[in-house]
Structure 1
Amino acid sequence: MIEVQPSLNMNIYKTLESKPATYAIRKTEIKSTFLTAGRTEIEYNAFSASIPRRITVALVGNKAFNGDFSLSPFNFLPYDLRDISVHTGGHIYPMVAYKLKFKEDLFVRAYVDMYEALGMANSDRSFDISMEKFKSGWTFFVIPLTSTLDDSCGFELLRSGTTSIRLEFNTPIPTGGVEMIVLGEFDQMLMIDYNRHIVSDSNLG
C-alpha cells in the first residue's frame, strides 16, 4: 500500500478543485457481421460515431464463429480476398489498392503492413506470425487511420464520422458464409473531478 504525504495530498485536492485529473487511454470496440455466400464485394459500416485510430479485420467461417465444435473459431483465413480498404473522413486507407492473390502467394505487402501498423517492423519485437501462418489461418489486416499512419504514442484528436470497410474477393464467398470481425481502437480522454466523478470525452454532452 502506498501512502501519500499529507502535504502532497492537499496539493492534489486543491488542483482538483480547479481542474479535473486527465488520463489518455485507448478504448477498443469489436463488431462483427455475416458475409453471405456467393458475394464478391461487400461494404460494411463498422463505426458511425467516432473515427478509430486503427482497425484490425479478420475473417472466419460462420459455422466456426457460431460454435461448431468440429471447427476452430480462431482459424482466420483470407478466403481469396483481393482487396480491403477503409473509407472514413473522405479518405481511403490504404491509398493504394492491395490486389492480393493468396493462392499465388501475392500478399507480402499486406503481411508487412500488419507488422508496420502494429509498430513491430524493423525492431526486435514480434508476435510470431510467419508468412506461411499469415496465409493459412493467421490472416489479420491491420489498417492505421492516424495522421502519421503508424502506431505512434501520440494522442489523436477526436474525430467524428462514419467508418466503412470494403472487401473485394477474387472468388465468391464459399457456401455457409463468412463472419467478418472488426476491432476498432480509439483514443479517449478520461477525466476525474474533485468529487471523484468519472467522465470520458465519448459521453460529454
Structure 2
Amino acid sequence: MYDVEYRPVGSLSKSTVFEFVVPGSEHYTDLAASYLYVQLKIDTDSAEKIIPTNNYAASIFEQLDVYLGNVNITPGNSLYHYQTFIDDVFFKHKSAIDACQIINAEDKRVEQVKKTFDFVLPIHAPMFQQEKFLIDNVPISLRLKCAPASFGLTCNKPITKLLFEFQKISLFIRRVKLYSPVQMSITKNLEKTPVKYYFQRNEVKSFHLPTGFAANSVDNVYNGQLPMKIIIGFVTDKSFNADLASDAFTFSHKKLQSAAVVVNGIKIPSSPYKPDFAGKLFMREYYNVFRSMNQDHGLPKIRLDYADYENKYPFLVFDLTDDGTLASDSGTLSLIKRGNVRIDIQFSTALDEGMHMILFGIYDSILQIDAARNIVTDY
C-alpha cells in the first residue's frame, strides 16, 4: 500500500480549472483513501476583516467531473460546493480532523486565511465514497472548476480585489498491491463476469423561487428515475451568487409554513411538514431529519445541533423508500422507481427576496467494469 502524488495538467498561475490525469496501474486503487491537498492564498488589497464560512474547504470548487477511462461517471454541474457541504453535514462524523477542512471556530478561521493556508478535501464523488478497490489498468481523470473567490467568504464592506492564488494543489491516490495469486484469481473471474460497484450517488439541483410569492409548486423536480431520499434547503439569492454580505452555507427558512413532496400523485409525508419558526415549534421537522435518514438511533453521522437548526441549517428530509434504508446502510439495493415529483411549499408571508431551493437527491446506483475495462453505469 502506497500513495502517489499527482499534479494538475498545466500551470497553477491564474488558473480556475484544474485537470488531473491518473494513468492505469498494475496495482489496485483505494479511491476512498484518496484526497486533494491544497495550499492557497487569498489575494486582496483590503484591510477589512474577511470571515470564511465553516467548512471553507467545501466552498473552493463549484464543479467536479470524474472519468474512468473515457466514461464520465460523475457529470459535473455548478453545485459541487453545496453537494460537498450537505454531504459533510449528513454523512461525516465529528472528529479532530475536521480542522483539515477548516471546520472550526470563527476566530481560528479568520486568522488562518490571513496568510497562505492549506487544507485537505476528500473527493465527493460516488466511486470515491465506496469501499471497494478499483481494479487494475483503469485510468482516472478529474476536472475541478473553482467557484468565485467571494463564495464562502463574508465581509462587512465591499472588496474590489479578491482573488485565489494557488500555491500548490495535489491529488494523492492510494495504490494497493495485492498478493499475486489473489489478483490472478480476480482477473480470471473477470473473464466470466464483470466486477460490480454498488454505491450511493448524490445529485444536487437548484430551483429559483421569485419574490412576492408565498406559495410555490415546483413541477417536474424529478422525472424518470426517482431518488431514495430528498434533502431540501433554502438559500437567499445573495448567498447563492457569492455576495460578500451573505454566508453561502447559511440556509434560511423564511418562515416556511408547509412543505410536502408529491410523488406520482401521492403526498409525502401524508401529513405535510408544518413548522412554526416564529413560535419555535419545529421539533417534528428536526426529528425527521434524523429519522428519514435512518439515523434516529445510536450515534448519528448527521452534524446538526438543534440550536443551529432554525437559523443556520433548517433542512427538510423526505423519505421515498419502502423500508427507509439505503444500499450504503443495508448492503442491498432497492427496486428502481420511476415517476414524477412535485414539491409544494408555503411560506407564512410573501418572499421579500429571491431564494434558491437546493435539492440533494440520494440514489442507489451500480457501476460495472468487465475484463476489457469497458465501463457501464445504470444512470
Question: Do the structures match in fold with TM over 0.5?
Answer: yes
Within 5 Å, give how 1:1-205 maps onto structure 2: 1=1, 2-44=176-218, 45-125=220-300, 127-150=302-325, 152-153=329-330, 154-174=332-352, 176-202=353-379
| Alignment check: 8 A CA contact 2:206 2:359 kept | yes
Q: CA deviation at 1:31?
A: 0.5
Secondary structure of 2:191's aligned partner:
helix
How many pairs were matched up? Answer: 201
Q: Deviations over 1:10-53 (max 9, x none)?
A: 43233222221111111111111110111122122322221001
For structure 1, which segment, 90-99 or 179-188, has the greater mean C-alpha deviation from structure 2 after superposition? 90-99
For structure 1, which segment, 177-186 or 93-102, has the greater mean C-alpha deviation from structure 2 after superposition? 93-102
Distance of aligned partners of 1:199 and 1:128 in 2 relative to their CA distance in 1, 3 Å threshold: closer
| Alignment check: 8 A CA contact 1:144 1:150 kept | no
For structure 1, which segment, 80-89 or 117-126, has the greater mean C-alpha deviation from structure 2 after superposition? 117-126
Q: Deviations over 1:92-146 (max 9, x none)?
A: 2111122221101121100000011233313233544333311112111111111
How much identity, in percent, do the aligned residues show?
Answer: 27
Structure 2 residue identity aligned to 1:28:
N
Q: Deviations over 1:62-121 (max 9, x none)?
A: 112111101111121111111111122443211112222110112110000001123331
Distance 2:356 2:202 in 1: 19
Distance 1:8 1:124 in 2: 36
Q: Considering only aligned residues, what root-mean-square deviation do their CA atoms show, in Å?
A: 1.9
Secondary structure of 1:139's aligned partner:
coil
Distance 2:373 2:363 in 1: 24
For structure 1, which segment, 132-141 or 40-49, has the greater mean C-alpha deviation from structure 2 after superposition? 40-49
| Alignment check: 8 A CA contact 1:36 1:178 kept | yes
Structure showing greater relative contact order (alpha-carbon pairs closer than 8 Å, 6 or more residues apart): 1
Distance 1:19 1:29 in 2: 29
The structure richer in strand per residue is 2
| Alignment check: 8 A CA contact 1:30 1:183 kept | yes
Q: CA deviation at 1:150?
A: 4.7
For structure 1, which segment, 29-38 or 90-99, has the greater mean C-alpha deviation from structure 2 after superposition? 90-99
| Alignment check: 8 A CA contact 1:116 1:150 kept | no
Structure 2 residue identity aligned to 1:39:
F
Distance 1:83 1:150 in 2: 25
| Alignment check: 8 A CA contact 1:32 1:181 kept | yes
Distance 2:302 2:365 in 1: 26
Distance of aligned partners of 1:7 and 1:150 in 2 relative to their CA distance in 1, 3 Å threshold: closer
Distance 1:129 1:9 in 2: 43
Unaligned runs of 5+ in 1: none
Unaligned runs of 5+ in 2: 2-175
Secondary structure of 1:101's aligned partner:
coil
Structure 1 residue identity aligned to 2:308:
K
| Alignment check: 8 A CA contact 1:55 1:182 kept | yes
